[in-house]
């Protein structure tokens, strides 16, 4: 915990601090929020409560929190923007505060309208940055040749093939265990929020993993990580990120050619081939279709770029 976070925690009342911890425990237990999400929620809510303590020049017990006004909310948001918090980050912070207030209002019996009616700042959503099909293939092939140890090269190639072939997050891929080998025709993946989904496995992904396992100096055991680091422990995602950074430098690809870009490429290439948007949503494990619809924006953006370059009146 940073000095700033410690100061914020000490600034809020014991009752508010206790309520926040009970809310976070509920988010973790009932909604399956990840440790990273819980940590971010805690930081955002603590920062908000500490601001209200200073802004209103009084400890903010549960009764005082029920009296937060729209003007108070505007002051907090202006304060955050004034210290350099971007629109996207502030929207995330506001979402955490609203979630806490919904929980608190239900238990304390007050009306949270002032907080819940606060509008998040508008921001331009970042579009996914997929690789072209030939670039994705080149990335996988390069990873299969650049490491000095054959088994490490085979491992990196297998990881990239699974990311691209199955549309997994890097954490999901590296979470596979020896029990998942040999890869079946479909994988049952537990993603964000503990949500399960079924993902088909391409023959190319099975072959790549088989080739890696044959060369791996460590035995494949049911409860051990499928993908190993050079010392035999679980493979750190940073290793794959570094390997891809080296590969993209050699291939002249942009900095957006990351492990997560392989997942974006999986979705975009399926969509371009006529894949159903809702089916792709299920494969990616997106809880909202609007998240998956970002890929249609990518496709439209590419179409307009071609139009601008090729149309005779452009």
DSSP 134-169: HHHHHHHHHHHHHSSSHHHHHHHHHHHHHHHHH---
* 169 has catalytic annotation: yes
* 260 has catalytic annotation: yes
| Closest residue by Cα to residue 298 from 251, 259, 256, 253 | 256
Kindly give, in sequence order, each residue whose CB lies less than 8 Å from that of residue 173, ignoring residues fewer than 6 positions away.
159, 162, 163, 166, 227
Q: String of b and e for 109-146 (b: at least 16 CB within 10 Å)?
A: ebebebbeebeeeeeeeeebbbbeeebbebbbebbbee
Kindly give, in sequence order, each residue whose CB lies less than 8 Å from that of residue 313, ignoring residues fewer than 6 positions away.
none
> Within a 10 A sphere around the Cβ of 169, how many other Cβ atoms?
18
Catalytic residue, candidates 155, 169, 228, 264: 169
* 263 has catalytic annotation: yes
* 126 has catalytic annotation: no
Catalytic residue, candidates 17, 192, 197, 207: 192
In degrees rounded to 5, what are phi and psi of residue 147?
Answer: -75, 145
Catalytic residue, candidates 155, 206, 263, 269: 263
* 79 has catalytic annotation: no
* 122 has catalytic annotation: no
Catalytic center residues = 169, 192, 260, 263, 286, 295
């Amino acid at each position: 915990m940073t000095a700033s976070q410690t100061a914020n925690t000490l600034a809020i009342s014991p009752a508010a601090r206790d309520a926040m911890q009970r809310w976070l425990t509920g988010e973790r237990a009932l909604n399956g929020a990840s440790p990273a999400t819980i940590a971010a929620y805690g930081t955002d809510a603590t920062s908000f409560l500490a601001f209200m303590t200073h802004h209103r020049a009084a400890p903010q017990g549960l009764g005082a929190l029920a009296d937060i006004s729209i003007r108070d909310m505007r002051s907090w948001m202006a304060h955050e923007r004034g210290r350099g918090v971007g629109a996207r980050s502030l929207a995330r912070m506001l979402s955490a505060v609203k979630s806490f207030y919904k929980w608190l209002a239900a238990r304390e019996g007050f009306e949270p309208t002032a907080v819940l009616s606060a509008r998040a700042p508008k921001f331009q959503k970042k579009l996914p940055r997929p690789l072209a099909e030939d670039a994705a293939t080149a990335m996988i092939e390069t990873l299969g040749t650049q490491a000095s140890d054959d088994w490490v090269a085979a491992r990196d190639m297998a990881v990239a093939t699974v990311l691209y072939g199955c549309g997994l997050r890097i954490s999901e891929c590296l979470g596979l265990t020896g029990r998942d080998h040999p890869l079946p025709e479909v994988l049952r993946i537990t993603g964000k929020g503990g949500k399960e989904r079924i993902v088909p496995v391409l023959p190319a992904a099975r072959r790549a993993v088989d080739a890696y396992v044959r060369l791996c100096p460590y035995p494949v055991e049911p409860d051990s990580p499928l993908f190993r680091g050079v010392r035999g422990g679980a493979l750190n995602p940073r290793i794959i990120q570094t390997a891809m950074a080296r590969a993209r430098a050699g291939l002249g690809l942009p900095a957006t050619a990351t492990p997560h870009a392989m997942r974006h490429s999986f979705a975009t290439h399926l969509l371009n081939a006529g894949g159903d948007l809702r089916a792709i949503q299920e494969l990616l494990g997106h809880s909202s279709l609007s998240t998956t619809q970002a890929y249609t924006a990518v496709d439209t953006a590419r179409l307009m770029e071609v139009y601008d370059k090729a149309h005779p009146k452009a």
